[in-house]
Amino acid sequence: MSSIPRKNGKVRKPSDIDARSSKRRPTALAVLLFSILLLWFLGALYVTTNTPSTHSNNIIGGKMMSPPHQQEIQNHPNIIKLRGANKKRKIVTDNTNIIDMRNLSATLPFEDVDGGVWKQGWDIQPDNNAPLTVFVVPHSHCDPGWIKTFDDYFQSQTKAILTTIVKALHKDPSRKFVWAEISYFEWWWREQSSEMQEITLNLLRNKQLEFVTGGWVQPDEANTQLYAMEIQLEEGHDFIRQTLGDEFIPKYAWSIDPFGYSPTMAFLLNKYGFEGMLIQRVHYAVKKELAKRKHLEFMWRQTWDNTGKHDIFTHVMPFFSYDVPHTCGPDPSVCCQFDFARIKNFGACPWRKNPQVITKDNVKERSMLLLDQYRKKAELYRSNVVIAPLGDDFRYKTEEEAESQFQNYQKIMNYVNDNVENVSIQFGTLGDYFDKVQGTFNVPVLKGSFFTYADRKQDYWSGYFTSRAFDKALDRKLERVLYAAESLGLTKEALRESRRALSLFQHHDGVTGTAKDHVVRDYASRIHNAIRQVQASIIDKLNMDSNTEACWQSDAPRGLSQNLCEGEIKVYNPIETSQYCGGKEVHGYSTKTVELPCEIPRPHVTTLIHFDSLTGLMTHPVQEQWMVWKVREGGAYLFLPGHLIPYEKEEVKVELGGYIVTTPQWKRSVVIHEITDEFGAGHAIVIDFIYETDLQNSNEEWLVRFSSSVKNEGIFHTDLNGFNFDTHYFRKDLPIQSQVFPMPTLASIEDDSQRMTVLSEHAQGTASLEDGSIDVWLDRRLSQDDGRGLFQGVTDNVPTRTRLRLVLEHGGYDTNREFGITPLCRRMWDELNHPLEMFGEWKFKSAHEARVHADESSGLALALKSSLARRAAFDEMTDPEKAMTNPLNENYTGDLYGNVRNGMMTCCKHHFTWMIKTVFSMDIFGQQFDAFALFEEDYVVSPTIYESVVSGLTLLKKLSHEKDAFFGIVMEGRVFNNNYATEGWQVKNFSSGPVALSRHMYESLVVNARDFCTYDDYNWDWSIVHLMNKGLLPSRVLYPTIPQTMHVGIDSGIHGGKAARWQLFTALNAKFPGPFHGTKLVGGTKQANLTVTAPFGGW
């Protein structure tokens, strides 16, 4: 094992890191004497230390809400009494057996040794004579958004799952089930009859159905702040309490899918009176080490807690996943045989040993095979009680599936309970397990977090710390306005819908940025609307006039916000301490009229700042570098580094000597902060770096590196959820991706003389890969999937703003204590996370107009400078007769062919874009459209046109092995006759015409939106052909051998006069073909692509 570097040059040996039991057994007398001495020592320690620990600097803080029913825990440092209806069982903690994850992560070899059937473990030899109790816990993991939106999942899967569960449990009182996601349950409950609701209540009373955690979602624990984590927990508990009853509030937590775990969640659960928690996604090497020590169950202790007051009993599932193959025991090929839902659904077992229906002929052999796995699993724990979850993603949807699981397991249970001594197997809940296991052994202690997670080999899940950075920032915007609203006294009830929008996004495929593109857009739409609702509530609460709006706005859910106000505005300060705008002090919890701008990037008279004269990047007091990881692998979840290179800065514009730097895709402004006298002048520097990035280059990860003279010797600190802190030790023997950590709000390095801390207003990944430096990710774009079930990359990047606040301090901290922030850093954290809320009257009609106005180089911006032009611009845009005099064309010399902007032509492509986006964004009672068909107004169509469109799209689905080989189907035919040989579909290359395409192809268009939108002002079809010629879209389409449409406006358009009327007359009098019923591919030639030599089709 490697040693841990210390700042004083000494090394810490593995034996110093955690207390391990000696292999030599002590004598009974020695044990007795030691026990007496230990009890005496603990008694003395209790007298001197059992007071509330003062750790205000070890916790960042943020607003914490008081739980309505928290019970005080007995103050004894070693014994906690659990609440219970009939009895209280004592848990005895073993304070001589402590693992600190910070130290374990610094010394563990992290070897990936093939362990046999348990690939990441070893060959377990069970004790076949030991008593054993097994609880089989049925569950269904239902993500509130991932591959489908929350609404779509509910309508298509989750609603049926909940109904199936209730009916199945109602049949047999021995059956049990646990449910976690209250967001789904609340919706389902609202739709049920009073009879169904009463059945469900009885199941809860009988403890057949048990809520676990009871939050709105199973939240991510890497990117979230404690504030949002608590809101989602409260939303779930409030529903349970107000609708069902306080007695159904859970006391045990279940977190099987979040990608790593934070002690902040343990703290929060303890605060709310929880007695135990279960977690799953822990690094496989850490699981193995804990299993070897029988440390998979422990009291999870806060690093700053010296008494154990905030401990919570924690169970770590030992194997690869939470699905059935990995929950009964170490051999997945055996466990999979007992996933009886696979008999007719979900596919065969990968190990080619499939489930069998349990009969009287095979029940003995099947039962003993399963029991062997249970016994082996029991060897990894200190008790003789085993929990065996029985479920997977979106399971128990049908009655057949549910009965298959319950009936077959019941036969096994009956056999074992009747024929095997000292063994008991039954269906159970998480509460049944914890009630049985707690108090049966002395519980070891663990401190620290479980980041960064790896599930196999060197696949570290450090990419999701940054994926969809824009949406992580949008999440924090909602948190900020909710915080401000609550500080004004607005109630939970008044903010309920907005709180639930925030809660939903805390889901471990929401704020993580690991959902499908359309799901990301759905989340963003909910948050965007919630922000506006809360802002409106704040305006009402402050009694502002009806023309007042929030200044910072965006005109789209995933659009970059802009300040639409100018001049005099009103601001509200949502924190206790004063903040400033343009030199004016705004006292805590007060409003004030101020003048914009509040801050200006400009040189500072007392702070020595240097910039590089060519690049504009800062060189003093820290060195600023823009960096790019060029990668070939990785996706939404995984970061797999390739080559790290400097960002290629082209067309660099340096202003104010470096305070503003602009490139086509990357902009940065610098703002220096005044430090008030209360923090002491001359001891610190505070600098804001405001980045605006527009990452459109595939397989790149953008970051900024701040380098200093700090000698941190590989020791690096980050925050956990804006509340706790974590400490990391750089290891040269581990891959780079393992040393990237979540940065919800903070990263810091220090030595004895100075500390550099970077604060952020939203979550991202961070690392310290070189001494004296901190890397902060800004965005990432990956063109490939990373094999974790999403089946896509991350290519929907949008312009994103990241504000980083760098605090460089000389003194005021203690390197010999647990890491904690200084009062100055805490103040800077508060102001960054809870800035002044701004309100005023908008100067412009829309954020889009404001952005155009800000671009002083555009002709449109010049036109909009005139108030008359602003009023007339959009009104006259669609009038082609006024093209020459339209303000849009003022100071505009025309396109490549000299044509001025013509509203009629421009709107053609814009209308197509608007229509297709609108259709695929629609959600009607939870259903979304799978395809889109476009017909211009001057088409004559066959009576069988709809049938033909459906037939063609169905054929495309059947060609699923060529998913990306076809753009869609085209229905156009210019010559109507009956001279066709075979009724069916043929292949050609797309050029134009009435087209139908799938959602998948629309998403491909979205990925390439920049090319599509900027290539051509007028022609949607030319733009698509352009993408095809670049290889960005498939060019082949299907078309029917019997033409189903005719474009009668070929020459002059249907509104064009005699020629058009003659063509229409000819078409209607021609022998229109009979019904088309072709369903098969009958051939066709692959024509050469239409060549587009220049944009605008030569117009």
Give yes or no for a cis peptide into 621 (omega within 30° of 0).
yes
Q: DSSP labels for 434-467? A: HHHHTTSS-EEEEES---S-BSSTT-B--STTTS
| Nearest alpha carbon to residue 542 among 573, 520, 511, 563 | 573
Could you identify the residue written with the tokens 């229509």? 915
- Which residues, 6 or more positions from 266, have their beta carbon under 8 angstroms from its beta carbon? 277, 300, 302, 310, 312, 314
Q: Which two tokens stand for residue 177?
A: 């089930």
Give yes or no for a cis peptide into 597 (omega within 30° of 0).
yes
CA distances from 610 to 649, 749, 1052 (A): 19, 22, 64
Q: DSSP labels for 517-559? A: HHHHHHHHHHHHHHHHHHHHHHHHHTT--TT-EESEE-SSTTS
Which one of the listed residues 143, 151, 257, 522 is annotated catalytic? 257
* SS3 label, residue 468: coil
Question: Cα(403)–Cα(396) distance, rounded to whole angstroms?
Answer: 9
Question: Cα(277)–Cα(253) distance, rounded to whole angstroms?
Answer: 4
Question: Cα(861)–Cα(973) distance, rounded to whole angstroms?
Answer: 44
Q: Where are the beta strands (DSSP E) in 842-999?
A: 931-933, 939-941, 966-970, 985-989, 995-998
CA dihedral 502, 506, 509, 512 (to 10 degrees): 100
CA distances from 135 to 257, 406, 409, 674, 817 (A): 20, 13, 11, 61, 44
Note whether 837 and 554 are within 8 A (CB): no
Give yes or no for a cis peptide into 662 (omega within 30° of 0).
no
Instruction: Check if 257 is active-site.
Output: yes
| Nearest alpha carbon to residue 439 among 385, 378, 478 | 385
Which residue type, as a one-letter code, is found at position 882?
K
Angle of helix 469-487 relative to helix 226-239, nearest 10 degrees, comes to: 70
CB crowding 905-922: b at 16 or more within 10 Å, else e = bbebbbebbeebbebbee
Note whether 228 and 503 are within 8 A (CB): yes
User: What's the longest Cα–Cα distance across the chain?
Assistant: 114
Q: Which two tokens stand for residue 842?
A: 């908008």
| DSSP conformation class of 62 | -
Question: Cα(747)–Cα(768) distance, rounded to whole angstroms?
Answer: 9
Catalytic residues: 257
